[in-house]
């Protein structure tokens, strides 16, 4: 498992989605790194279970038949078998519970953020606000702006090579690196879902309700 943790990062597909992508995007936060490593652990457990169960089914179907084995009718109880099929699933669940609870705790960690980003979901665009944003010239300044998605026609007309279709906006959200950030996410009119895969964040937006998320963004 430790070997897979060091081997699989070479399969990360970059900072944006690509065609026929099967892996994750490059993690930009410690939260996404934890989600990725837990996914590897869970995938290893699932594949192991499938292989063991398939081998057991094949063994039973080939070795225990009514024509070749007369002991099948007399085999009705076995204490060792019952202990094994009770103990092994319990140990598997414990191996999944420990990293899962640690990851959930890190997602709900409450700390003092250096910067707060408020996200407002509108029907066709997003608004962002940094209430504790301080510039070099003025303190206690609030930074507010709206991001509108650029259409395919605009990208084609302006020969915007390197831009991402259906993801590009007229104003990008620029956040500092190596900083503890807090996200406050809400909706103005309709329900939304604000997500950034490389952050490991996917939060629902509801009217008159503030959802929060804490992330540590690194370069």
Cα–Cα distance, 149 to 122 (Å, whole number): 12
Give 196's contacts (C-beta < 8 A, 6+ positions apart): 28
Q: How many domains does the chain have?
A: 2
**CB-neighbour burial class of residue 211 (10 A; exposed 0-12, middle 13-18, buried 19+):** middle
**Does any domain span residue 93?**
yes
**Does any domain span residue 189?**
yes
Cα–Cα distance, 17 to 203 (Å, whole number): 19
Identify the pLDDT of residue 22: 78
Q: Which two tokens stand for residue 44?
A: 């290893």
The model's pTM is 0.68
Identify the pLDDT of residue 2: 45
Q: Kindly state whether residues 125 and 210 are assigned to the same domain.
A: yes
Q: Which value, in Å, is the radius of gyration of the alpha carbons in the chain?
A: 25
- The number of beta carbons lying within 10 Å of the beta carbon of residue 126 is 21
In terms of residue numbers, what domain contains 156?
A: 115-217
Per-10-residue mean pLDDT of the chain, 219 residues long, equals 46 63 80 88 93 90 71 70 89 89 78 82 87 60 82 78 78 82 82 81 72 57
Q: Kindly state whether residues 73 and 9 are assigned to the same domain.
A: yes
**Does any domain span residue 101?**
yes
């Amino acid at each position: 498992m430790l070997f897979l943790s060091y081997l699989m990062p070479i399969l990360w597909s970059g900072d944006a989605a690509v065609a026929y992508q099967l892996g994750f995007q490059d993690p930009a936060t410690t939260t996404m790194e934890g989600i990725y490593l837990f996914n590897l652990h869970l995938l290893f457990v699932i594949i192991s279970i499938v292989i063991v169960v398939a081998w057991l089914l094949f063994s039973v179907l080939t070795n225990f038949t009514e024509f070749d084995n007369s002991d099948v009718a007399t085999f009705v109880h076995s204490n060792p078998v019952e202990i094994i099929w009770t103990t092994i699933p319990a140990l598997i669940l414990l191996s999944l519970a420990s990293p899962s609870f640690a990851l959930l705790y890190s997602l709900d960690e409450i700390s003092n953020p250096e910067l707060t980003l408020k996200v407002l979901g509108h029907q066709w665009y997003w608004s962002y606000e940094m209430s504790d944003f301080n510039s070099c010239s003025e303190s206690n300044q609030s930074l507010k702006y709206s991001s509108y998605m650029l259409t395919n026609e605009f990208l084609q007309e302006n020969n915007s090579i390197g831009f991402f279709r259906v993801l590009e906006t007229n104003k990008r959200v620029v956040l500092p690196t190596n900083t503890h950030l807090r996200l406050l996410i809400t909706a103005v009119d309709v329900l939304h879902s604000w997500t950034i895969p490389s952050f490991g964040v996917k939060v629902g937006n509801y009217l008159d309700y503030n959802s929060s998320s804490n992330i540590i963004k690194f370069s």
